[in-house]
Structure 1
Amino acid sequence: MKSCDLPDTQNNLDTRQIIIDRVGIKDISHPITYIDREGNKSPTVGNFTMTVTLPENVKGTHMSRFIQILNEGPCEFDSGNFGKIIEKVRDRLESETAHIILDFPFFRKKKAPSSGVESMMDYQVTLYGSLDKGVTEVMMKVVVPVTSLCPCSKSISKYGAHNQRSHITIKAKATVGKTLYLEDLIDLAETKASCELYAILKREDEKVVTERAYDNPAFVEDLVRDIAVDLNANNNIDYYRLESENFESIHNHSAYALIENQK
């Protein structure tokens, strides 16, 4: 029997007159390629949530069409073209709106500060895309792990100071007509931290990063304020949500701070 001869149940009329805000597929893994700031292609694996709005008179959406879109060709994205797949979802599902959330690890090669040994650092990235009333909006979020060293501990101790691993999370939306690069957000977070992290460090590198952190103490408040100064001055950004969570090494809690700004 041909598929055209089979009943299409989801296209049946629904009489309950209730709009479903978002319906689709969640947590589907698919290979993607992220194109970085320099144009290099970085293969990775994305986790997709893809939804549309369902009108009050339609019984169900076509779930398979979401997956067909992912499998029609290479899934390649950069900071500026993620909106194209959102438009394709909207058109293929014949909906007025479309939403995509894409999570993926972004890998970046880094050189240790003294030995120069290279290793791959990973950053957790989320792209948020929506299309509603003809307007496409894309936001990106990146979690940047760094080191922070406590200024208070340094000032009161005869030697040493306690430090902690910190996660700086920046969620930002580009100004209309501007391009916002993922690496710009990573660079900013790592520059403002007491010290950045590396996957591989030799002994001479450990000396450098330990002393660098000691020379650049920062409270969680300092981290978000220093980063916010640059975000506020960046004309490529018209909205951001900035968080820092410091996983304390001498307390049984985290230190936390958040700044949110719609320019």
Structure 2
Amino acid sequence: MSQQLPDVQASSPEVTVGLNRVGVTGVEKLVKIGRGDQRPIVLMAEFEVYVDLPSWRKGADMSRNMEVIDETLEAAVSQEVEGVEDVCGEAAERLLEKHDYTTQAEVRMEAEYVTREETPESGRPTQSTADIVASATADEDGTREEIGARVTGMTVCPCSQGMSAARARDVLRGLDVEDETIDAFLEEVPQPGHSQRGHATLTIEAEGAPDVDLDDVIEVARDAMSARIYNLAKRPDEDHMTYQSHKNAKFVEDCVRSMAEGVVSRFDDLPDDAVVTMKQSNDESIHQHNAHAERVAEMGTLRREVND
């Protein structure tokens, strides 16, 4: 007769302190996103799975967590889903059902997403990458799902560009060029400023699931910076990116504000209580530090501020 193994996780801990998040990370699974008549997009996604833990319980059932996430994600592999956030939502709800001691379950996911596009001047086919971020939190009040992306672009500092423009103006005046001509020249030929590699993150969270298209989220985030960048760039494309970024110089704060403007313009159908998270981090080229700005706000608040 086999001996029943003790359930150590269900025993009481020596220190009766509850924990907000206990779970597993680094779970890799394939997920297929359906696209109607087109071939589905297949992602290698990495998941994090958490539940909360009451003070009277020593540990969470890690094997049960893995069983639930495996069941859910294997089902997702066998059939196409409309959005990766739905996979997270289904897994979070299953976790809540399987753990009678848990009041909240959370599932987070990241994956690299590749889109096809053309270079801006040479028209060459190329690919662009973005990091998809998705999550879901389930509790007794329901399930909230989040979808978003982290993209890379280029920014130019308006402050250093202003100093370059002032220097150019002084030089041109010294050459007896009229102010009207100088103004016209500086308008057509933006002056140099120090540039940065920019990282924009945009996520949208709503009850159930946000009614947004992932490609639109990526577009809003990419357009919020001074210029887009491309994996492939011939000389005309490099000239285009350089010119566009200097023509559209932005502080890190401006990028977040541009994201807010893009969200309000592109996602008019979102409910007022949808939560929008916008982050911009710039890798400085002339400083040892980096610049960062962010905003978290409900959609209704953003609408009022942008349209004010």
**Alignment correspondent of 1:249:** 285
- Structure 1 residue aligned with 2:86: 81
The aligned amino acid for 2:28 is S
| Cα root mean square deviation, aligned | 3.0
Q: Secondary structure at the match of 1:244?
A: strand
TM-score (norm 1): 0.83
Deviation at 1:175, TM superposition (A): 6.0
Supply the AA of the counterpart residue of 1:27: G
In structure 2, stretches of 5+ residues that fail to align are 169-190, 301-308
Partner of 1:123: 130
**Structure holding more helix per residue:** 2
Structure 1 outlier segments of 4+, above 6 Å: 36-39
Instruction: Quote the Cα distance in structure 1 between the aligned partners of 2:96 and 2:134.
Output: 17
Which residue of the partner structure matches residue 172 of structure 2? none
Give structure 1 stretches of 5+ with no counterpart. none
Number of aligned positions between the proteins: 261
In structure 2, distance between residues paired with 1:38 and 1:205: 33
Residues 207-246 of structure 1 aligned to structure 2 (within 5 Å): 207-232=239-264, 234-235=267-268, 236=270, 238-246=274-282
Q: Percent of pairs identical after alignment?
A: 23
Three-state SS of the structure 2 residue aligned to 1:207 is helix
Deviations 1:231-250 (A, max 9, x none): 34534262112121221222
Matching of residues 130-149 of structure 1 within 5 Å: 130-149=137-156
Task: Indicate how the Cα distance of structure 1 residues 89 and 35 shifts in structure 2: closer, same or farther if over 3 A, else same.
Answer: farther
**Is the partner of 1:107 in helix, strand or coil?**
strand
Q: Give the alignment's TM-score, normalised by structure 2.
A: 0.72
CA distance in 1, matches of 2:114, 2:10: 46
- After superposition, what is the alpha-carbon deviation per residue over 1:49-95, rounded to whole angstroms, capped at 9, x for unaligned? 21223455555433223323343324355156231222122223344
Q: How does 1:150-165 map to 2 (within 5 A)?
A: 150-157=157-164, 158=168, 159-165=191-197
Letter in 2 for 1:187: E
Q: Is the contact between residue 174 and residue 180 of structure 1 (CA under 8 Å) also seen in structure 2?
A: no
Larger gyration radius, structure 1 or structure 2 = 2
Q: State the alpha-carbon separation in 2 of the partners of residues 156 and 149 from structure 1.
A: 13
Q: What letter is aligned with 1:165?
A: R
Q: Equivalents in 2 of 1:38, 1:89: separation in Å?
A: 33
| Partner residue, 2:228 | 196
Query: More strand by proportion, 1 or 2?
Result: 1
